[in-house]
A and B are shown apart, each in its own frame.
Chain A
Amino acid sequence: MSQSAVVLLDDVRCPTGGPMSLQVKHLEISLGERVAIVGPNGAGKSTLLRLLSGFVRPVAGQVLVLGRSLAAPLSAQGIRALRCEIGQIMQDLHPVERLTVLENVLIGCLGRTRGWRGWTRCYPPGEVEAAETALRAVGLLRRAGTRTDALSGGERQKVAFARMLMQRPRLILADEPTAALDPVAAREVCQLLVEASAGATLVSVVHNPGLLPLLANRVIGMKNGSIDFDLPMVEVNRHGLDAFYSRAEAPVPVTGAKQRSLRTAIPLEGV
């Protein structure tokens, strides 16, 4: 194991929502890498991301993320410390609708905010400035005082994005970050993701092959719960990808079953 490994998986087996389980012999992701995971629906991509964020635990094998072992259950404090350092862009992580855009972005700094300030939403001026900078980066500074339920879907995505920037994570996990966006906005968001991941590590699940060169310098193809190929971006071409998708047979329909498994897998702590 090299010193700079941000993610290290060895002989991992982990159940997914579907009938087959995720099996990874060996996977190492180093600091500063930008990894894109591709593959058909039901290949285990989202499960892999949730494994890395500590939402699901493997039944066997070793998972090391940011120097923490996730194979054994972490303490509540350990989970929080880990989550502080992992920025997540997921379809099922919404902004809080009744808070303003700025307040939603400031949620990103809760992990490093202690005491009454985190309860009363009276953040230190430095953090407010940082939140405004994050909003400027996604082009929403103008709407900082707007309540989030007045925003469009794309704008909400950007709020989630600014919240992630605010978090200053060491590892960014993005599950189809462009799914809700039109092509122009999608490129914009990818550009932002790459900028945000400077000095951090980016792992994203991508469906649009056109965005791969923008987002990744390494591509992992997944099929039936295991890694099919793991190549540097320069060695991946369009034809190879098309062939990969046509070879892969989606074993299970996703939709309902997948959503449910996402819900039940999330542990409820405290509230």
Chain B
Amino acid sequence: MWHRASRVFVGRLGFLTLAVVYASLVIGCLATFVAEGELSLGRRPLENLVRTAGEFAHPSFLDVWFGNTRLEYRSDDGTVLRVENRREVESNYLLGLASATWTTFRIATLGSLLGALLALPLGVLTARNLAAPSFLRLPAKGVLDIARAVHTLVFGLVLVGIVGLGPTAGILAIAFHSMGTYGKLFAESIEALDMAAIEAVRSVGASPAQVFFNAVWPAALPQFVASHLYIWEFNIRDSTILGVIGAGGLGLLITEATSLFQWGRLSTVLIVVVLLVSSFDALSRRIRKALS
């Protein structure tokens, strides 16, 4: 009786302690920022917000249909310096955008596939229920942990220095980082397999290869495909930013637009990113559903 009461008490006390530690951590983070005077919203936040939002609300692609065909750039004394057809300029920009989107998609697709292929053996080695010898399991786990901890952008920056600017660096950066996530997901789906079914196939005298192809592979395949689609989708999102470091694709257009404060163009690019990601998400969800 006393024993049980103390166990309940200790259990709740433990949770309470955790909650207090968490609360003091949050307060500590806030308080130090305030003390350093770093928590400010700038000089004219509201004004800036309204101006930026206004420009965002007019995405540049609208100019393809509604733009000024004879936009005149004048100097201060009124002489016409240059005449620009906004419709033509923006439709050229859209063509460039389409090609950048295609580049981003290719980087994500190839990077994901490479990451999945690299991760498959490592995932199999780290799955606890397959009990691989620890001199193989521990290094494999180490590689996966490091790959997961280092951000795609960091990999990208390092790789740009090694293989140069361009999509190769992007593909490899995506592959190296997502390898860590793939390995973890693969190992988890192998760990979730019904061992009793595997034992049953073993119990009829099947060879290890027969066991793999008749019990492990058919049971784990939908999980593998689902993980692959999920990370592929994630990588499409991730590779849009890789252009920032010179790996090509949409990120290049994003840096360009932000550094020139062209919020209208950034708006166009972001609309494309959202469309790309959400349509791929819908597609992959359908495929995953059909596979389960």
Contact = CB atoms under 8 A, between A and B. Distances in A.
Given A110-B210, A121-B214, A268 B201 contact: no
Interface string A6-22: 00000000000000000
Interface residues of B, number: 29
A90 B203 CA distance: 10
Nearest to A121: B214
A122 to B, nearest CB: 11
A101 interface: no
B131 A268 contact: yes
B171 to A, nearest CB: 32
A157 interface: no
A96 B215 contact: yes
A193 B125 CA distance: 40
A81 B200 CA distance: 15
A81 B207 CA distance: 10
B95 to A, nearest CB: 46
Interface string A76-117: 000111111110101011111111000100011011010000
The secondary-structure label for the interface of chain B is: helix
Interface in A217-261: none
Contacts of A96: 194, 197, 200-201, 214-215, 218-219
A82 B204 CA distance: 9
A155 B222 CA distance: 24
A81 B219 contact: no
B283 interface: no
Contacts of A107: 200-201, 204, 206, 214
Contacts of B219: 96-98
Interface in B167-204: 194-204
A92 B199 contact: yes
A182 interface: no
Interface string B125-169: 000001100000000000000000000000000000000000000
B198 A271 contact: yes
Given A119-B213, A121-B214, A268-B130, A80 B207 contact: yes
A163 interface: yes
Nearest to B219: A98
Contacts of A120: 213
B214 A82 contact: no
A80 B202 CA distance: 8
B213 A84 contact: no
In this complex, the interface size class of chain A, counting residues with CB under 8 Å from chain B, is: 35 or more
B203 A88 contact: yes
Contacts of A83: 202-205
A95 B131 contact: no
In this complex, which of A53, A118, A163 has the most chain B Cβ atoms within 10 angstroms of its Cβ?
Answer: A118
Contact of A93 (B196, B211, B212): B196
A167 interface: yes
B208 interface: yes
A110 B212 contact: no
Contacts of A119: 209-210, 213
A97 B194 contact: yes
A94 B197 contact: yes
A150 to B, nearest CB: 13
A210 interface: no
B196 A92 contact: yes
B208 A97 contact: no
Nearest to B132: A268
A108 B201 CA distance: 8
B197 A80 contact: no
A98 B222 contact: yes
Contact of A111 (B200, B204, B218): B204
In this complex, which of A90, A93, A120, A163 has the most chain B Cβ atoms within 10 angstroms of its Cβ?
Answer: A93
A95 B200 contact: yes
Interface in B100-129: none
A67 B212 CA distance: 29
Rank and list the top 6 A-B pairs by shortest CB-CB distance, nearest first: A270-B208, A111-B205, A84-B205, A93-B200, A83-B205, A110-B206
7 contacts: A81-B205, A86-B203, A93-B196, A93-B197, A96-B201, A121-B213, A268-B131
Interface of B: 130-131, 194-216, 218-219, 221-222
Given A93-B203, A97-B197, A271-B211, 13 more contacts: A83-B204, A83-B205, A85-B205, A88-B203, A96-B197, A96-B200, A107-B201, A110-B206, A118-B207, A119-B209, A269-B208, A270-B212, A271-B130
